[in-house]
């Protein structure tokens, strides 16, 4: 892409004063809604959260402490474990020029469920990342003090992400003290693997998320489970003055064993592609990815990847949510073209589409039945040609385009930092993906997008001091849905809806909240997922048509004529439904 195109885009960005995106229909101030808080004095940086849905426990990794909280009420602390840096380590860290009071501490960065009895935990430990096993029965560390290099950053300010898959830890972080060597690795006693340390593989990445997507159990092609990583990195493929950021999706295969000679102990299945999140007709490019949530629901044909993005130069404060279906992603990796670097002039390299012959088996592909049929039983058997190719061509030329070719949500004057998505069935059976999006000002937006537009149902001020939402989790157990948000100063638990805040039928219906409906006989706005059974006379309309509220009058007249009975109690209840006065 030419330089001038990007200039044009940014010129536009600075100038546009278009009223972008919907305004939250209602804003709840911090004190207006019932939220549950957890924080302890002298403890800060509650940045790592892990939810155990079976045990109903929320684990929280803060600075030098790990907590276990009751996930139904996080104010109830069940355990706490102090995990401090030794004096000696702190002094040594300070000698290397780091701040003894802040940087030379232990920031918990990895908190993963290993099995029923153990969590695998890692902390920065005064720039000497260390991992250990946390026994959930005694709530004590095993004292293994494993070297956490490659699993946890040295520097608490650096990005990190990890996911535990079948008792093996996959992480994206940096590998050295300076933070200059990025790495995506698998920690496993059998076959540890890592990325090449080379610019085409990872170029100053900022990791935001990782997750596994299991192979379809009904498929017959013997495909492998895949681990996806999301990050923003400095572009190699576009020419630009300064650093142009690019949002990426990368993936590796779970059964990858590395190569035998070429790519020994390195991924043979590492491929990455650009994620596109743009508004083409307005020339807006969202090229920094801040967080990802992968929606995996039994009612979905395939997982959907939701990402929150901001532009690199964000003077006007724009954010967007883009959604990608998995088949589009897989298509790019399994059928797309690769990119190739070419040297032009002396030292200048340029990345162009590779149009030459592609070795067989396809470079970067997982070992599946087809490969096994050709006697490639593991990545260790792959021919050198395939391995050398993927080593030199980890970047795809094709990009991953969002569903519907545009963002699900675009919002002005806000920076979105975190996202989780809940899939809910409204009263009329329509399914909505409800997006909960955290901001850098401690707020949460709850939004839906539908065919004709987008709607922000509400904005809730989660943190009173307007600090960024750093982590966001959703507990979607039936009948018990909560959000958990972590920040520097504490953790907040919020219900997914505040239906009872709406006191009239019209208010309740106009909220257009799939969780809420008006229950006419009780004259209250209820959370439909908290009720035992759905009833036919409940009123909900996500399109925002509140005429059913008055239609209820007619129905009521037929049913028993409460209005004419002069029964004050009934009249007052019904009045709320009808928004009329009692006579």
Ligand X SMILES: *[C@@H]1O[C@H](CO)[C@@H](O)[C@H](O)[C@H]1NC(C)=O
Residue 466 CB, nearest distance to ligand X (Å)? 13
Contact between 15 and 283 (Cβ < 8 Å): no
CB of 216 to ligand X, least distance (A): 13
Q: Which stretch binds ligand X (CB under 6 A): 324-332, 391-399, 418-426, 451-459?
A: 324-332
Site string for ligand X, 250-289 (x = CB under 6 A): ----------------------------------------
Rounded Cα–Cα distance for residues 518 and 525 (Å): 4
Long-range contacts of 113-122 (CB under 8 A, 24+ apart): 113/50, 113/52, 113/164, 114/164, 114/167, 115/167, 118/142, 119/50, 119/59, 120/164, 120/169, 121/61, 121/66, 121/83, 122/148, 122/151, 122/152
Least Å distance, CB 63 to ligand X, is: 7
Closest distance of CB 160 from ligand X, Å: 11
Q: Taking the complex as a whole, how short is the minimal distance between the CB of residue 326 and ligand X, in angstroms?
A: 8
Q: Rounded to whole angstroms, how far apart are CA atoms 522 and 529?
A: 17
Q: Are 190 and 272 in contact (CB under 8 A)?
A: no
Report how far residue 198's alpha carbon sits from residue 267's, in angstroms, rounded to the nearest whole number.
13
Contact present, 29 and 7 (Cβ < 8 Å)? no
> CA-CA distance, 145 to 134, in Å (whole number)?
11
Q: How far is the CB of 107 from ligand X (least distance, A)?
A: 6
* Residue 91 or 327 with smaller CB distance to ligand X: 327
Residue 361 makes contact with ligand X by CB under 6 A: no
Q: Any contact of residue 431 with ligand X (CB under 6 A)?
A: no
**Least distance to ligand X, CB of residue 209, Å:** 18
List the strands of the sheet with 409-412, edge to edge: 288-295, 304-310, 318-325, 409-412
The residue within the footprint of ligand X, chosen from 70, 328, 399, 550 (CB under 6 A), is 328
Query: In the set 21, 123, 156, 303, which binds ligand X (CB under 6 A)?
Result: 156
| Beta carbon of residue 93, minimum distance to ligand X (angstroms, whole number) | 14
Closer of 404 and 560 to ligand X (Cβ) = 404
Piece of the chain touching ligand X by CB under 6 A; list 197-205, 321-329, 458-466, 533-541: 321-329
Residues 35, 23 contacting (CB under 8 angstroms): no
Ramachandran region, residue 257 (left: φ > 0; alpha: ψ -120 to 50; beta: rest): alpha
CB of 230 to ligand X, least distance (A): 18
Q: Tell me: does residue 45 bind ligand X (CB under 6 A).
A: yes
Which stretch in 174-182, 320-328, 386-394, 511-519 sits in contact with ligand X by CB under 6 A? 320-328
Indicate which single residue of 27, 203, 488, 537 sits in contact with ligand X (rule: CB under 6 A).
Answer: 488
Nearer to ligand X, 221 or 331 (CB): 331
Going through 102-190 in order, the beta strands assigned E by DSSP cover 108-113, 118-123, 130-135, 140-141, 146-147, 161-165, 168-174, 182-187
Given 236, 279, 403, 521, the residue binding ligand X (CB under 6 A): 403
Number of residues engaging ligand X in binding (CB under 6 A): 14
Q: How many residues does the chain have?
A: 583
Which C-beta is closer to ligand X: that of 95 or that of 157?
157
Torsion of CA 456, 460, 465, 470, to 10 degrees: -70
Nearer to ligand X, 107 or 286 (CB): 107
Among 1, 14, 157, 352, binds ligand X (CB under 6 A): 157
- Among 11, 142, 280, 404, contact with ligand X (rule: CB under 6 A): 404
Q: How far apart are CA 447 and CA 407, in angstroms?
A: 13
Q: Are 450 and 542 contacting, i.e. CB atoms less than 8 angstroms apart?
A: yes
Write each residue from 88 to 107 as x if it is in contact with ligand X (CB under 6 A), else as -, in one continuous string: -------------------x
- Least Å distance, CB 40 to ligand X, is 13
Among 13, 26, 44, 202, binds ligand X (CB under 6 A): 44
Distance in angstroms (rounded) separating the CA atoms of residues 546 and 557: 19
Beta bridge partners of 396: 338
> E-strand spans in 240-370?
245-253, 271-274, 278-279, 284-285, 288-295, 304-310, 318-325, 339-344, 348-353
In the complex, the smallest distance separating the C-beta of residue 305 from ligand X, rounded to whole angstroms, is 11
Distance CA 564, CA 553 (A): 12
Q: Does 42 bind ligand X (CB under 6 A)?
A: no
Q: Which of residues 104-123 bind ligand X (CB under 6 A)?
A: 107
Please answer whether residues 374 and 361 qualify as being in contact, where contact means their C-beta atoms are separated by less than 8 angstroms: yes
Specify the residue, 104 or 448, whose C-beta has the smaller distance to ligand X: 104
**One-character DSSP codes across 347-362:** TEEEEEE--S---SSP
Applying CB under 6 A, which residues contact ligand X?
Answer: 44-45, 107, 156-157, 301-302, 325, 327-328, 403-404, 488-489
């Amino acid at each position: 892409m030419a330089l001038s195109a990007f200039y044009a885009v940014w010129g536009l960005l600075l100038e546009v004063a278009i009223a972008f995106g919907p305004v939250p229909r209602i804003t709840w101030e911090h004190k207006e809604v019932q939220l549950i808080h957890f924080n302890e004095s002298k403890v800060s940086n509650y940045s790592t959260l892990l939810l155990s849905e079976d045990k109903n426990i929320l684990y929280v990794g803060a600075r030098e402490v790990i907590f276990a909280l009751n996930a139904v009420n996080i104010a109830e602390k069940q355990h706490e474990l102090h995990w401090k840096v030794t004096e000696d380590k702190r002094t040594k860290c300070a000698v290397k020029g780091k701040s003894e009071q802040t940087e030379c501490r232990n920031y918990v960065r990895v908190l993963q469920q290993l099995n029923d009895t153990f969590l695998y935990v890692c902390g920065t430990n005064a720039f000497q990342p260390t991992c250990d096993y946390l026994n959930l029965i005694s709530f004590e560390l095993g004292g293994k003090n494993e070297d956490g290099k490659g699993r946890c950053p040295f520097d608490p300010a650096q990005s990190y992400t990890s996911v535990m898959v079948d008792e093996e830890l996959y992480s994206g972080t940096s590998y050295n003290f300076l933070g200059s060597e990025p790495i995506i690795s698998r920690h496993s006693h059998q076959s540890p693997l890592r990325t090449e340390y080379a610019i085409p593989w990872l170029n100053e990445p900022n990791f935001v998320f990782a997750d596994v997507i299991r192979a379809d159990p009904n498929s017959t092609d013997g495909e492998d489970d895949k681990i996806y990583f999301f990050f923003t990195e400095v572009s190699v493929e576009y020419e630009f003055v300064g650093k142009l950021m690019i949002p990426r999706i990368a993936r590796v295969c779970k059964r990858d064993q590395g190569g035998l000679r070429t790519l020994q102990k390195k991924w043979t299945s590492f491929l990455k592609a650009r994620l596109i999140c743009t508004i083409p007709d307005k020339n807006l490019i969202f090229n920094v990815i801040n967080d990802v949530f992968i929606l995996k629901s039994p009612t979905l044909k395939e997982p959907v990847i939701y990402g929150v993005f901001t532009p690199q130069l964000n003077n006007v404060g724009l954010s967007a949510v883009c959604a990608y279906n998995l088949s589009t992603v897989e298509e790019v990796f399994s059928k797309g073209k690769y990119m190739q670097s070419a040297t032009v002039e002396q030292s200048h390299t340029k990345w162009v589409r590779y149009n030459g012959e592609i070795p067989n088996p396809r470079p970067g592909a997982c070992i599946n039945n087809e490969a096994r049929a050709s006697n490639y039983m593991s990545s260790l058997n792959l021919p050198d040609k395939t391995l050398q190719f993927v080593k030199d061509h980890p970047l795809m030329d094709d990009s991953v385009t969002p569903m519907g070719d545009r963002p699900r949500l675009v919002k002005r004057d806000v920076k979105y930092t975190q996202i989780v998505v809940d899939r809910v069935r409204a009263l009329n059976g329509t399914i909505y993906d409800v997006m909960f999006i955290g901001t850098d000002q401690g707020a949460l937006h709850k939004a839906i997008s539908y065919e004709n537009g987008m709607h922000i149902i509400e904005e809730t001020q989660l943190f009173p001091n307007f600090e960024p939402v750093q982590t966001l989790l959703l507990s979607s157990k039936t009948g018990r849905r909560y959000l958990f948000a972590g920040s520097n100063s504490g953790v907040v638990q919020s219900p997914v809806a505040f239906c009872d805040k709406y006191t009239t039928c019209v208010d309740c219906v106009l909220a257009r909240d799939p969780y809420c409906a008006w229950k006419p006989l009780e004259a209250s706005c209820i959370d439909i997922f908290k009720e035992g059974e759905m009833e036919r006379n409940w009123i909900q309309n996500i399109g925002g048509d509140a005429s059913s509220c008055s239609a209820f009058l007619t129905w009521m007249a037929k049913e028993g004529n409460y209005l004419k009975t002069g029964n004050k109690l009934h009249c007052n209840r019904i009045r709320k439904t009808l928004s009329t006065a009692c006579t």
